[in-house]
């Protein structure tokens, strides 16, 4: 991907992110995205200090922030793969980082809480992982940059048998599988 097309993709992603569009968007990066309606401003991407004059320490710190943002989990309601507003905001931030960091690949892992059938929960986790990937690719992240996997209820984030644990276990986790060194903050 050359610099121009990269810029185009980033711009599209930025516009889409600003629009906080809940509609499904064609994955093809058209030259000019369809105008989006005004909508409440989404949370801005994580502030960064990235600038040409950054010191090495600043850059490392920015990379850590980008990594934290990219790998932040998103959470789901019971037996649902629907993305909440908070999920979308988190995914928008990931779109910015991924589009600024060509070469970075991620794996989305879908998880469920312990309730429900062990076997059905594998399919539910798959659906949750697919929902996040679909959102990311619809916002310009290349399909090949993301793979998905489901762990069902097999790997809870939090032990416990109450809603406090369950709500933390109904999640997608995001793992950087390639290009971690190339991680950059989202373009301003």
Q: Is 127 in the site for other proteins (CB under 8 A)?
A: yes
Indicate which single residue of 18, 59, 72, 122 sits in contact with other proteins (rule: CB under 8 A): 122
Q: Write down the least CB distance from residue 34 to other proteins, Å.
A: 24
Contacts of 133 (CB under 8 A, 6+ apart): 108, 146, 148
List the beta bridge partners of residue 173.
109
Report the site for other proteins in 59-78 (rule: CB under 8 A): 78
The minimum distance between CB 154 and other proteins, in angstroms, equals 6
Asked if 145 is part of the footprint of other proteins (rule: CB under 8 A), the reply reads no
Cβ-proximal residues to 105 (8 Å cutoff; 6+ apart), any chain: 144, 145, 146, 147, 176, 177, 178, 179
**Tokens 């903050």, residue located:** 185
- Provide the minimum distance between the beta carbon of 153 and other proteins in the complex, in angstroms, as a whole number: 11
> Which one, 13 or 148, has the nearer CB to other proteins?
148
Alpha helices in the chain (DSSP H): 3-19, 56-70, 85-100, 118-138, 163-169
State how far the Cα of 32 lies from the Cα of 18, in Å rounded to an integer: 15
Q: Which of 146, 172, 174, 136 is nearest to 25 (CA)?
A: 136
Instruction: Tell me whether residue 6 or residue 123 sits nearer to other proteins (CB atom).
Output: 123
Q: Is 180 in the site for other proteins (CB under 8 A)?
A: no
In DSSP terms, which residues pair with 110 in a beta bridge?
A: 150, 172
- Is 115 a binding residue for other proteins by CB under 8 A? The answer is yes
Span near other proteins by CB under 8 A; candidates 10-18, 42-50, 92-100, 128-136: 128-136
Task: Establish if 18 lies at the interface with other proteins (CB under 8 A).
Answer: no
Site for other proteins, rule CB under 8 A: 78-79, 115-120, 122-124, 126-127, 130, 133-134, 147-151, 154
């Amino acid at each position: 991907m050359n610099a121009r097309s990269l810029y185009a993709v980033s711009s599209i992603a930025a516009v889409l992110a600003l629009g906080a569009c809940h509609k499904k968007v064609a994955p093809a990066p058209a030259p000019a995205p369809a105008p989006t309606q005004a909508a409440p401003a989404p949370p801005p991407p994580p502030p960064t200090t990235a600038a040409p004059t950054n010191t090495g320490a600043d850059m490392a710190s920015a990379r850590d922030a980008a990594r934290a943002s990219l790998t932040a989990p998103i959470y789901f309601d019971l037996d649902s793969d629907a993305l909440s507003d908070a999920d979308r905001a988190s995914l928008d931030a990931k779109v910015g980082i991924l589009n600024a960091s060509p070469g970075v690949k991620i794996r989305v892992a879908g998880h469920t809480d312990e309730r429900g059938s062990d076997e059905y929960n594998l399919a539910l986790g798959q659906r949750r992982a697919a929902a996040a990937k679909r959102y990311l690719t619809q916002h310009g992240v290349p399909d090949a940059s993301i793979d998905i996997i489901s762990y069902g209820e097999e790997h809870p984030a939090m032990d416990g048998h109450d809603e406090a644990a369950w709500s933390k276990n109904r999640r997608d986790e995001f793992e950087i599988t390639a290009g971690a060194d190339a991680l950059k903050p989202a373009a301003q």
